[in-house]
Amino acid sequence: MVDTIGWASSAVLLATILAQIRKQWRARSSEGVSKWLFVGQSAASLGFVAYSWLVGNWVFVVTNALLFVAGATGFLFTWHFRRVASGDARPCGRAPV
């Protein structure tokens, strides 16, 4: 039962981060999203992966590894969409005009 609570909580946490990333992708914008949110979240997730591995807690190893991937993805989206907005890059999948 204890692990079930951990896995369920993990799913909720991942769903919230993924919902933010999905919103950015659909809007093709990172307006109002701090890149530092994803930088800090990714750094914390890496630290928690190491800690969880050392204490043998697989719920948190998996959760934080996935959170790191989600945070890195969110950071890349934020960086990309800001470059596009500033005119430094073209939008994903769109040919130059």
**What would the 3-class secondary structure string for 31-94 be?**
CCCCHHHHHHHHHHHHHHHHHHHHHCCHHHHHHHHHHHHHHHHHHHHHHHHHHHHHCCCCCCCC
For the domain that residue 42 is a member of, what is the CATH number?
1.20.1280.290
Average of per-residue pLDDT across 67-93: 81
Average of per-residue pLDDT across 70-82: 88
For residue 27, tell me if it sits in a domain. Answer: yes
For residue 75, tell me if it sits in a domain. Answer: yes
The tens digit of pLDDT for each residue in 14-55 reads 888 888 888 888 888 888 777 788 888 888 889 999 999 999
For residue 65, tell me if it sits in a domain. Answer: yes
Q: What is the pLDDT of residue 68?
A: 92
- Residue showing tokens 């946490």: 13
Q: How many domains does the chain have?
A: 1
Range of the domain at 75: 2-86
